[in-house]
Amino acid sequence: MSSTTLFKLCRAGYMVLVMMLGAWFIRQGLTGEYSMLFSLLWLIPLLLPLKGILTGKPYTYAWASFILCLYMLHALTLVYVTETDLLFAIAESLLIAALLIGFPFYARLRGRELGLGLKKKK
């Protein structure tokens, strides 16, 4: 798979995740299950790598996986405890799992194309 195809897939998946979780947390804030401040605080870490992901910076794709781990914990916890939102929780888990695989692969492929990497000791 080429880096441009992987870039488009990862970027689209990330935007779907931002929209899904944005709608989820805002709905939770509006219904009163969470406070609106708590809901907005949940979205801040997800938005931190937005610029780098949209522009295709390999370094951003590499460290954004760490942020996705927080949301994977949320998704897996929701799968375990929910009775009403099980389909949402499963969809969130699968999307994040795909991104946790796609992000490092894109970072590796694109980094090699750009000649980035760790310098070897002599």
Q: Which domain holds residue 75?
A: 3-114
Residue 62 placed within a domain:
yes
Helix (H, G, I), strand (E, B) or coil at 118: coil
On whether residue 37 sits in a domain, the answer given is yes
Give pLDDT tens digits for 82-111.
Answer: 888 899 999 999 999 999 999 999 999 998
Asked whether residue 120 is domain-assigned, the answer is no
39 HSE (CA, 13 A, CB side):
16
pLDDT, tens digit (0-9, with 9 covering 90-100), for 51-62 = 999 999 999 999
Please choose, from the candidates 24, 16, 17, 18, the residue with its C-alpha nearest in 3D space to the C-alpha of residue 84: 24
Residue 68 lies in a domain: yes
Provide the number of structural domains found in the chain. Answer: 1
Q: pTM of the entire structure?
A: 0.88
Q: Is residue 45 part of a domain?
A: yes
